[in-house]
Structure 1
Amino acid sequence: MPEEVLIWDCEANGLLDTATKLHSLQIGTVKGADSTIYCDALPGYPSIAEGLQRLSEAPKLIGHNVLKYDFPLIEKLYPGTLRLEQMVDTLVMARLFAPEERAHSLDEWGQRLGVLKGIFNGPWDTCTPAMMEYAAQDVVVTRALYNHVKEVEDWGCLDTELKFAWIMFLQEQNGFTLDIKAAQELEAELRGELADLLTEAQSAFPPRWVPNGKNAQAAMFTPKGDNKRHGYTAGCPMTKVILQDFNPGSRKQVGERLIQLGWKPKAYGNDGNPTIDDEILSRLPFPQAKKLVRYFAVSKQLGQLSDGKYGWLQVVGSDGRIHGRVNSVGCAPGRCSHSGPNLAQVSKKDLRMRSVWTARRDWKLIGCDGASIQARALAHYLAHYDDGLAINREINGDKALGTDTHSANRKALELCGMRVPPGYSGDPGKLLGRLREGAKRALYCVLFGGGDPKLGKTIKEECREAGVPVPRVPDSELGKLARRQLFKSIVGFDRLQAAIQAAARSPKKGGRGYLKALGGMHVKCRSEHSALVFLMQSFEASVMKLAAVIFYFEKCAENGWEHGKDFAFCANVHDEAQMEARPEIAKAVGQAFADSIKEAGERLGSRCPMAGEYSIGVNWRETH
């Protein structure tokens, strides 16, 4: 009789891309204390073949990081031996269970649980008794971890999370093609822009004399004798100085210059210097500060493109692709996090940054996202309080008639400047359409935790870009008014927010201590203030993860599409999936993913119907 549940791990002579030999398999049962090693290289152990046979007969195999290492390694060395549906990854489970923990290695969990993993520093290329002693403990620690986090099996989301984690592994292996020539040309263009911006900044902030030392005290000295050539007088303290050109890349210098203009910083870093970022600079009344905003933006773009540790031109592989890493439960609300590089930070404003990401040769890029998914998420939760008004606006509302969600909110924000000004000579319809987009951004600012100053700044930016008069009131005052107007437009919003915050409170304060995501995940909030944004993001993550699972495991199987041969995942960022496919099936792939988003909403029980939208192009700029 095959065993119901096994804990397992393996050791090999390298990482997944380089390993050519399996040293051992370690297998144990969940309820026991056993740990059996299967090894061919050393005497006294049962064979690896016996271990593989034991694993293949078990319906459930539990291991740590098995979806990104152990299972694909066995598939590489012994194809067809194990099955994906057997895999239960405690790394995914641990991240679901304790998203507040930053480190989730087996060693770190062993330390938390008091079941130490042990130390082994190699060598890894040869199988040794010391390695086997170390390997046996992996099963012991994994067993303890599984028993610690196994409650997530009852949440209803684990199957989707495990399958989605596998999809992200496939995405990492596939990578995203970088148009290297276009990226190099963009780098040259940005460096030219930065040089011009440097000239402008140094014109706005002329050179100044500063102490030639760490500080004024260190630069002081007292001459022992007179020196007419240098202007020294014996016994008279002096300060050595140098003429310093302004360096906008130095936050310290930027802070000093702005303080001289009259700025009064409100926050300071650990180094004692004022905190300075784009948002702070954009709010300052000094014309010089506005010039620095663009300098900072271009510097950041160059950091992403080439100058940073994970600059795209630095990490692109010999295959012309970038294989960024994805943590499928990297954020507390269940969203993914991205690294090496972070593709979630690719600029949406400067589309040149997206134009360098493309499909493999002769294929098309397909971008698919959830249509108004945040607004639909809000409508789902508001249904308890507004008798379906928000759902009706979202599904049946007409932009042309001004009856949809964002048009209604735009009308509510007329008191905040989002209106057609008297005597406007342009096309009022186009202007209202532009202001509708501004109302959408204002809503998302509220949904994602923006305070009154941030909301007020957002309203001003939208008015400015639309070409209508900008309200001449402080950001916080304008934001407070805008929030009040949005609450009037969105029936039940205040009651929904209160209910969410009450649920998120700790049990000691009468709350549940977590929010339940649409997909079942228990979402732990950092604070009551963050509860609404966490709920909205968890809804989005629940829908988009299940959509990816439906698409890959069902739609692709139905159509006979094979990952890497017919299509492939390139990026998954929040509510957006980027895929590449053979041109003759690109439209069908896009439609299949859009349909999967709709089906995901239905299966999860969303009160507001979901919908997907897709576009096809040659680069990321064209597909989002």
Structure 2
Amino acid sequence: MRLVFDYETNGLLDRPDLRILCGAAVDLDTGEEYEANGEADLDAFAHLLARADLLVGHNICGFDIPLVQRFYPWFKVPHIYDTRLALRMRYVGDVRERFYAWRNSAGRSEEKREARFPARLMAPGKQFGLEAWGYVIGEHKGSFLADTGVQEEYTDELGEYCLRDVRVNARLYEWLQRPDRTLRGNRQEDPTHERPPTPEAAVLCESAFALHMRNQEARGVRFDRGSAELLYAKLAARREELGQELRTEHFPAWWAPTNPKGDVDPELPVRRGDASYTVPKRTYRVPHPHPLAGREKGCAFTPIELVEFNPNSGHHIAGRLRKLFGWEPKEHTPTGLPKVDETVLADLPYPPAEALREYMMLTKRLGQLAEGEQAWLKQATADGLIHGRVETVGTRTTRCAHRRPNLAQVPAVGAPFGAECRRLFRPVVPSHVLVGIDAKGLELRMLAHRLGYYDGGAYAERLLDGDPHSDWQEVTGIILRNNQKRLTYGFLYGAGDLKLGHILLDDMRQAADQGKYKGKLPKAAEGVLRSMGRRVRASLQQRVPGLGQFVAACS
């Protein structure tokens, strides 16, 4: 028996007095509908779900299944198919473009486009909701709860709304079993190229994994608040010490024209376009002796102020490095300002560079630990637990997304203060052991699957019986194995030529420090790094069997 089901409650799972108000289900094989409200009906409904071979629902891994397990501890979960996860697996990479295509298919009239697909449903939090996809498949779920809010008691209208949700979801499940068309670059469907549906086995596997992640979130991980506060005090003291050193020894206060734009250095060149530089124009273009005339350097009267160096300001860092050391930035942010981060500072020979790098590292650690919006100390509950959220299929590449807080970015043991950070996390049960796992070579296995059509399974054979990283090292010329892994995964996830060039340069530097590279290090100029990345990309596509053909087929 395959059932599509849904529950309506008086709130979310974190509500202490949570109650189930009603439930509904549809048998996918017979079309029979089931409704339940009241204690006796709901008990029988739970037993009905337990007898199913497959349970289908929208966000059931995040809500409905944990709800059933909470009220009916005896409930044994059968195979589950979460239509929200199925949608994310299929469309997470181009959902917004598809919504544009569906809207535009209604014609040029904005009124008709809104009727076809409301623009409000394109918001990130609504893109994979049942309401949005009800519009796509032509089966609207209605807006009862959106209009009335959370219900405290069962009503016939709520029961009808619950059943309508199930009917829409049953249609959505059937729709997901059909192929669809890929999108062209102009956001129009390509009638010549169909994309097959996601295999049901894959959705069942992803749904089971998502349920495990939901249970992990609910259980949480113990956080050593006392040790965290001591570490915070230690890092904050060191950062304050470094800040004082930077302000007194390296970048003492200076007089500068009063800046009406606040923290922006009026003398700092800003990149415009690709290569040209401009300096800010006159602040006011009015004739003298207007009281606002002549507010820039060189005028008869220039208001000035004493500026104290702010190590958290990229404008101050870039401006002082230019003024005192003649630094010319090679990389820029998308807005055209000089890029100043730990990677850039690592290439600079100036005395303050190392102190600035350490200051940035400490600021990053303190942001994770205590000062950031999602800092560990802020997210830890009164009972000493952190319930980090995991959104399976949460990124465009279908990887997990982590938030509140992001426990996937706890610094590695080998990173500065990484061991101290990792020691803060403990098992919930003291007698248990906290174990970390890392699935082996998932991306490489996916690549082997895709390359099989072109190389006859050669890469898959090396993946299982050999060492594909060593094979690629011979192609790329990378010296250190860990850096080859960085380059491999960067290449697979779409790193540009500049990023690949940075990885190559990092490898040469690290190898030189270890005495494994005796050659001359290339300049860290953007053009040089892009050229290096371009060459290694071409080498991979030419020398790895089938890779060039596969890349060409994807473009």
Same-fold call, TM > 0.5?
Answer: yes
Secondary structure (helix, strand or coil) at the match of 2:78 reads helix
Distance of 2:156 and 2:300 partners within structure 1: 71
**Contact 2:80/2:204 (8 A) holds in 1:** no
- The percent identity for this pair of structures is 27
* Partner SS for 1:242: strand
CA–CA separation in structure 1 for the residues paired with 2:42 and 2:442? 49
Residue 15, structure 1, aligned to residue 12, structure 2: yes
Aligned twin of 2:554: 504
The alpha-carbon deviation at position 341 of structure 1 amounts to 1.0
Residue 107 (structure 1) aligned to one of 131, 147, 150: 131
Which amino acid is 1:293 matched to?
Answer: R
Once the two structures are overlaid, the 10-residue window that deviates more, 27-36 or 183-192, is 27-36
The yes-or-no answer on 1:85 pairing with 2:78 is yes
- In structure 2, the residue matched to 1:263 is 328
When residues 200 and 463 of structure 1 are mapped into structure 2, their CA distance, relative to the original with a 3 A threshold, is farther
Equivalent residues in 2 for 1:222-371, closer than 5 Å = 238-260=301-323, 261-264=326-329, 266-269=331-334, 273-284=337-348, 286-348=350-412, 349-350=415-416, 351=418, 352-360=420-428, 361-370=430-439
Residue in structure 1 matched with residue 91 of structure 2 by the alignment: 98
Distance 2:538 2:285 in 1: 61
| 8 Å Cα contact 1:13-1:23 kept in structure 2 | yes
* 1:451-470 alignment runs, 5 A limit: 451=497, 452-467=500-515, 469=518
CA positional deviation for 1:89 = 1.1
**1:126 and 2:160 aligned:** no
TM-fit CA distance, 1:283: 3.9
**1:20–1:77 contact (8 Å) kept in structure 2:** no
Partner residue, 1:581: none
Contact 2:141/2:165 (8 A) holds in 1:
no
Q: Deviations over 1:142-176 (max 9, x none)?
A: 23432332354536412221221121122112212
Q: Aligned equivalents of 1:83 and 1:393: distance in 2?
A: 38
Aligned equivalent of 1:55, options 49, 52, 56: 49
Cα distance in 2 for partners of 1:175, 1:487 equals 46
Q: Structure 1 stretches of 5 or more lacking a match?
A: 226-235, 397-403, 419-434, 506-624
- Matched to 1:204, the amino acid is H
**1: CA distance between counterparts of 2:246 and 2:19?**
58
Aligned-partner SS, 2:68:
helix
- The question of 1:471 aligning with 2:516 is answered no
Q: What displacement does 1:251 show?
A: 2.7
Which residue is equivalent to 2:260? 213
Q: CA deviation at 1:131?
A: 3.7
* CA distance, structure 2, for counterparts of residue 387 and residue 105 of structure 1: 40
CA displacement at 1:23 relative to structure 2: 0.5
Q: Is the 8 A contact 1:457 1:479 kept in 2?
A: no
SS across alignment from 1:177? strand
Mapping of residues 530-569 of structure 1, within 5 Å: none
Instruction: Verify the 8 A CA contact 2:346 2:353 in the aligned structure 1.
Output: yes
Answer 1 or 2: higher relative contact order, Cα 8 Å, separation at least 6: 1
TM-score, L = length of structure 2: 0.70
| Paired position in structure 2 for 1:177 | 222
AA at the equivalent of 1:48: L
Name the stretch that deviates more: 309-318 or 346-355.
346-355
SS at 1:365's partner residue? coil
CA distance in 1, matches of 2:155, 2:259: 60
**1:514-529 residue pairs with structure 2 within 5 A?**
none
Q: Distance in 2 between matches of 1:212 and 1:478?
A: 36
The TM-score with structure 1 as length reference comes to: 0.63
Residues 146-185 of structure 1: pairs in structure 2 closer than 5 A: 146-151=173-178, 152=197, 154=199, 156-185=201-230
Contact 1:33 1:140 survives alignment (8 Å): no
For 1:538, the equivalent position in structure 2 comes to none
Does the 8 A contact of 2:448 with 2:460 survive in 1? yes
For these two proteins, the number of residue pairs brought into alignment is 460
Query: Of 160, 163, 166, which aligns to 1:139?
Result: 166
Give the CA RMSD over aligned residues. Answer: 4.0
Question: AA paired with 2:207?
Answer: L
Residue 198 of structure 1 corresponds to 243
CA contact (8 A) 1:211 1:219 kept: no
